[in-house]
């Protein structure tokens, strides 16, 4: 893929993944990484490296090579998910991106990288412990995301009143398509959740947050 940030060879992918696993534990809380994400990354690194060594060894088989390819596909998928869900909320510094082996986002704001669109959305009750967030470009009738965008970042928090600042909503995820389902714990049923959304383009630039909307967790 032209312009893709992901290295194209398994050895370089593994090197980047190891770089992340060395750096990310101390950032886990500050960058609000979802529980279990680092553990999964570490397990996939070990599995991919083990299967690659076996496939490249003197007794490696075509089956070993196929298993190694699958392991790297899983590793790359999780790395892309981490980058999308974590590395732009809260924003990383230029040095952080360099430490991760990534190109820092272009900080020169020009019309083709600005995010002028805003999100409008409604919240539906989907089932027990689930809310469905149906979103679109504010002012548009269609529900396609803006061209060249990753999707909408959803932030939420359990609280009765809207926050003064978006940073007070400590949960977040990237929704690449609409609608998106939010799943809650049994203990959270009956509580109020505040939700807001903003578009994010492929450069990682985040647009303006929507108004806050609330719902009771079923």
pLDDT tens digits in sequence order for the chain, 218 residues long: 445 788 889 999 999 999 999 999 998 888 888 888 999 999 999 999 999 999 999 999 999 999 999 999 999 999 988 888 888 766 677 888 888 988 776 554 444 457 889 999 999 998 899 999 999 999 998 888 888 888 999 999 999 999 988 888 989 999 999 999 999 999 999 999 999 999 998 878 888 899 999 999 99
Domain ranges in the chain? 10-99, 119-216
SS (H, E, C) 160-217: CCCCCCHHHCCEEEEECCCCEEEECCHHHCCCEEEEEEEEEECCCCECCCCCCEEEEC
Work out the burial of residue 35: count CB atoms within 10 Å of its CB; fewer than 13 is exposed, 13-18 middle, 19 or more buried: exposed
pTM: 0.54
The CATH homologous superfamily of the domain defined by 119-216: Immunoglobulins (2.60.40.10)
- CB 118, CB 196: distance < 8 Å: no
Tokens describing residue 200: 């994010």
Compute CA distances 185 → 45, 52, 101, 131, 189, whole Å. 30, 38, 36, 12, 7
Q: What is the pLDDT of residue 94?
A: 80
Compute CA distances 200 → 95, 110, 149, 152, 210, whole Å. 21, 15, 6, 6, 13
- CB 202, CB 178: distance < 8 Å: no
Q: What is the pLDDT of residue 108?
A: 47
Report the DSSP pairing between strands 213-216 and 192-201: antiparallel
Report the DSSP pairing between strands 119-127 and 180-183: unpaired
Work out the burial of residue 196: count CB atoms within 10 Å of its CB; fewer than 13 is exposed, 13-18 middle, 19 or more buried: buried
């Amino acid at each position: 893929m032209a312009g893709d940030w992901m290295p194209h060879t398994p050895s370089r992918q593994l090197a980047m993944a190891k770089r992340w696993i060395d750096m990310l534990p101390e950032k886990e809380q500050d960058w609000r990484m979802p529980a279990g994400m680092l553990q999964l990354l570490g397990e996939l690194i070990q599995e991919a490296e083990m299967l690659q060594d076996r496939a490249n060894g003197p007794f490696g088989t075509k089956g070993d090579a196929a298993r190694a390819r699958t392991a790297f596909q899983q590793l790359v998928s999780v790395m892309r998910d981490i980058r999308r869900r974590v590395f732009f909320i809260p924003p990383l510094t230029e040095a952080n991106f360099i430490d991760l082996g990534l190109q820092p986002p272009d900080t020169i704001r020009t019309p083709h990288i600005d995010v002028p669109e805003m999100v409008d959305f409604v919240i539906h009750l989907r089932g027990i412990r689930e809310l469905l967030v149906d979103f679109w470009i504010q002012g548009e009738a269609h529900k396609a995301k803006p061209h060249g965008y990753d999707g909408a970042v959803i932030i939420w928090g359990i609280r009765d009143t809207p926050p003064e600042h978006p940073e007070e909503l400590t949960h977040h995820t990237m929704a690449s398509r609409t609608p998106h389902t939010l799943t809650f714990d049994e203990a959270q049923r009956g509580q109020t959740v505040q939700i807001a959304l903003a578009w994010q383009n492929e450069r990682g630039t985040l647009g303006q947050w929507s108004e806050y909307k609330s719902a009771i967790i079923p």
